[in-house]
Structure 1
Amino acid sequence: MNRRKLDPQASAKAAFGQLLRRLRDKEGLTQQELADRIGCTDSHISAVETGRRSPTPQFAASADRALGTGYQLQRECEEVHRPSLLEGFREYVPHELRAVEIRLFEVGIIPGLLQTPEYAAAIQAGAVRRGAITESQAEERLSHLAERQAALARTPVPLVHAVLDESCIRRPVGGPEVMAGQLDRLIEFAELPSTVLQVAPYALGERRAFDLPVTMLTLRDRTQLVYAESAQRGHLVREATSVVTALTAYHQLQVEAESQTASVAMIRELRKGIL
C-alpha cells in the first residue's frame, strides 16, 4: 500500500501526523484497529496522520490512552493549536540552513540571526508576560534560535546581508545592559568578512521598500526563495516572478539605506548613550 510521505517541518499538523503514525506503527496497529480503540473512523485517523485534519485535544488524549503513550500526543497537539513557531516557519528553516546567501530586512526588533541570547530571552519573556506563549514554548523558541545561529558557522560560510529599519536599533529591549550588548553584537557582525549591515533610516519615509520583515535565500544551485511574515503566518515564495519583484525591491532598499560605514557609526553613537 502506498503511504503518503509526511514532512514534519511543513506544519505543526504534519508533525503531529507523523508522530501519530510512528506510534501506531510501533504498536503494530492498522488505522482501523486504532480507530476502533479510539471510537472514530479509519478515514479520520488517515486524515489526521496526513495533516489534512487538525487533531482535537480530545482526540490526542484518546490516542495517548489507546497507544499507552502517556502525554506525547497531547503535548504535540498543543503545538497545533498554539504553536511555539509561526505557522509556515518550519517549512522555511531547512532552506535557511543550506543557503549560501541570506538577505534580510527587519522592522522593530533585531532579526533573530543577529540577536544576543540576552536580547532574545527578553523578547520571549515579553511574549510570555503577554500570554502569547507559554514558558516552555519560549524555551523551545530560544533553543531553536540558538541552533539556527550556530548553523551560520557552517562551511562554506553563507553571505548574510542585513538591512535593519532604524526602529530596530532604537527600540529599547531588556534594559540598558541588554541593549548595549546587542548593539555591540551588531558592530561585531558588521566587521565579519561574510556580512554586510545597513540601517534604513526613518528619513526614507515612504521610499522604504518593505513594510513587513522579509528574507531572501540563494541556495547552492542558485535557486532563490523569498520568505515573508505577517502577524498570522509566514509564507515561503518560490514563484519566479514574485521572487524577482522582491529582489528588485531589496536592491532598491540597499541603495537607499545608509552605507555600512555610516550604519555602524550610527550604532556606535547610540551605544555611547546607553552605558
Structure 2
Amino acid sequence: MANRKELDPAGGPAAAYGARVRRLREERGWTQEELAVRTGYSSKHVSAVETGRRSSTLAFSRALDVAFGLAETEQSYESEWQKLRHGVLLEGFPEYIHQERRAVELRLFEIGIVPGLLQTSEYAQVLASSSVARGVITAGQAAERVEFLAGRQQLLEQQRPPALFVVMDESCIRRVVGGREVMAAQLEQLVEFATRPLTVLQVAPFDIGERRPFDLPVNLVTLPDRSVLAYAESQAKGHLERDNGTVASTLLDYHRLAAESLSPADSVAMIEEVRKGML
C-alpha cells in the first residue's frame, strides 16, 4: 500500500475510467492480481489502466463488465469506452456499432474501399495513416481506429456470426491501397471470406452504370426480431434510419443492386484476376 498512487478522477476521461475501475475493485475487496485473474489480463495491465498510464481497450472493457457483472447495462465499461472513443469515430457511428453487434444479418455496400469488416490489418493501417498524413486525426487516434476495427471484426469470428451479404463497387478492388503487396493480401482475404458458409460476396461492375442505385455506402442491419435498420454516411456524419418506409425502400434497392451485380462465383473470379495482376 506504500506505493499506492492517488488518483484524480477529474484529470480527464481516462483518469475517471481508471479511478472507477479501482473503486469497484476495492469495493469487492479484490487486489489487482485478483482482478487480473478474473479478466485474463496481467496485474501490470490492470494497474496501468487504473492509474491512466494505459488507455483501456474494447476487449478489456468487456472483460471488466464480465468480472463486475455489468455486461449489457447502462453502467457497463463497454459503454464508457465507447464514449471515450467517440472522438475518433464519425458522429452517429457508435449507435450503428451497437446495432451491428445484435445483428443476425448484415448487408453492406461500399464504394472505393473494402468494407471495414473485411479489411486486413495492414490495409486498415494504411487508411488510418493516410488520415494522419492529411492532419485529420492524430497518430494515437489512428492506432485507436485500427484497434477498434479489429474488435469489430471479432463479430465474424464468434460461434454464431451474423449472415454477411456484401456488394462492393468494382472500385473497391481496383483502387490500390498501400501498394501492390498490401492490396494483393487484401484481395486474397476477400477470396477467403467468400468461401465462408454465412458470407455472400458480390462485385458491382462498372458497366452496370446508372443501374447502380446507391452513390454512398449503405449498411442494412437485420435484428433478431427481423426488423431492419439502415445506416448511411455523409462526409461529416452517419445516420441510422428506423423509418419502416425508408428502410423498406433501401432494402429493395439493395436487392436490385445484388441482382445487377456479378454472381458470387464471377465476383471471386474478378477479384482473383485483379489479385494476380498485383503479383
Q: Is the shorter-chain TM-score for this pair beyond 0.5, marking a shared fold?
A: yes
1:265 paired with 2:269, answer: yes
TM-score (normalizing by structure 2)? 0.70
Structure 1: runs of 5 or more not aligned: 1-15, 27-68
CA offsets 1:153-210 (integer angstroms, 9 cap, x no match): 2232210000000000000000111001000000000011010000000101111010
Contact 2:96-2:231 within 8 A present in 1 as well: yes
Letter in 2 for 1:104: L
> What's the offset of the Cα at 1:119?
0.4
Counterpart among 240, 247, 266 of residue 243 in structure 1 = 247
- The CA deviation at 1:78 is 9.6
Instruction: After the TM superposition, list the runs of 4 or more consecutive aligned residues in structure 1 that deviate by more than 4 angstroms.
Output: 76-80
SS at match of 2:207: helix
**Residue equivalent to 2:212:** 208
Q: Measured at CA, do residues 222 and 115 of structure 1 come closer, stay the same or move farther in structure 2, by a change above 3 Å? A: same
Which of 161, 184, 190 does residue 188 from structure 2 map onto? 184
Which of 118, 129, 134 does residue 130 from structure 1 map onto? 134
Which amino acid in 1 is paired with 2:203?
V
Q: 1:219 to 1:258 in 2, by over 3 A?
A: same
State how far apart, in whole Å, the 2-side matches of 1:269 and 1:144 are. 31
Equivalent AA in structure 2 for residue 196 of structure 1: V
> Secondary structure of 1:97's match?
helix
Q: How far did 1:231 drift?
A: 0.4
- How many residue pairs get aligned? The number is 210
Give CA deviations for 1:14-35 in whole Å, capped at 9, x if unaligned.
xx7xx69x98xx9xxxxxxxxx
Deviation, 1:152, is 1.6
Instruction: Specify which of 159, 164, 180 is matched with residue 160 of structure 1.
Output: 164
Q: 1:78 to 1:225 in 2, by over 3 A?
A: closer
**Matches of residues 21-170 of structure 1 in structure 2 within 5 Å?**
83-170=87-174
Partner residue, 1:62: none
Unmatched runs of 5 consecutive residues or more in structure 2 = 1-12, 24-51, 56-81
Q: Which residue in the other structure is 2:38 paired with?
A: none
Q: Deviations over 1:202-241 (max 9, x none)?
A: 1011110100001001011112100101101000011100
What is the DSSP-based 3-state SS (H/G/I as helix, E as strand, rest coil) of the residue aligned with 1:273? Answer: helix
Aligned residue for 2:203, secondary structure, equals: strand
TM-score in terms of structure 1 length: 0.71
Residue 103 of structure 1 aligns with an amino acid whose one-letter code is R
* Structure 1 residue aligned with 2:72: none
Partner in structure 1 of residue 66 of structure 2? none
RMSD (CA atoms): 2.6
Q: Is the Cα–Cα contact under 8 Å of residues 106 and 222 in structure 2 kept in the other structure?
A: yes
Is the CA contact 2:155–2:161 (under 8 Å) kept in the aligned structure 1? Answer: no
Q: Secondary structure at the match of 2:136?
A: coil
Letter in 2 for 1:192: R
| SS of residue in 2 equivalent to 1:246 | helix
